[in-house]
Amino acid sequence: MAYSSHLTAFLTIRTRPDVLKTFKELYEANIDVSSIGEFFNISMAATGNYHLQSLTKRYFISKNVDEALVQVKLGRTAMIAGRKSLEYLISTQFSSSGEPTMRVMKECFAPYSVGVTLQRHTPLKRNINLALERMVESGLVTRWFSEALSRHRRSTEVDTDQTDADERNHVTPLNIHHMQGVFLILIFGYVASTVVFVIEVLRDKNAP
């Protein structure tokens, strides 16, 4: 029963294709990269990474985000942009039934931070730095980002009838959580039979 249940769950769940995680894998996959403007192209060329420098030869400048995303959806290019911008696009435009159709590659070659411009030698610098550090470390930035995604989803919700139709058409694959009741019943049967067996053995020993 356990083998059959595991096999059913394994065959029902769709196998995900291998994903690109590093710039080496992106380079070896012979996929072009694109972005808006030359900023990221210059940044990749300035690094000491061989694969990033080689990707500059396959770098294309897109006129706008929509043009870049068309090639990404076709699987021809990888778009370079800020992580939060990509996460926002994926969550708001490329998530079907809660399942994202695009992903952000794990490796990042140039982490950037957002700064605040102040007058040189201003006495406010120390207090503002402290306030920004507290906002980031307390998780407020992450919370605000999540709230922005939630507001966007609520504002772009489709009609209830259409949502119900999509839910009916969506097939949920079986997994171990759907079948755990069978295993609980099996374990309960084993425990009950063991208890009965021990009682019978004890009764036979105590019998005259």
> Do residue 25 and residue 105 come from a single domain?
yes
**Residue 149 CB-half CA count within 13 A:** 18
Domain count within the chain: 2
Evaluate whether residue 41 is within a structural domain: yes
Per-residue pLDDT of 126-156, as tens digits, reads 898 888 888 888 888 888 888 887 787 777 6
Evaluate whether residue 188 is within a structural domain: yes
Amino acid at 114: V
Q: What tokens does 33 get?
A: 């990269």
Per-residue pLDDT of 6-60, as tens digits, reads 777 766 766 555 677 888 888 888 888 888 888 888 888 888 888 888 888 888 8
- For 197, the domain range is 173-208
Per-residue pLDDT of 174-205, as tens digits, reads 666 666 777 888 889 999 999 999 988 888 77
Evaluate whether residue 6 is within a structural domain: no
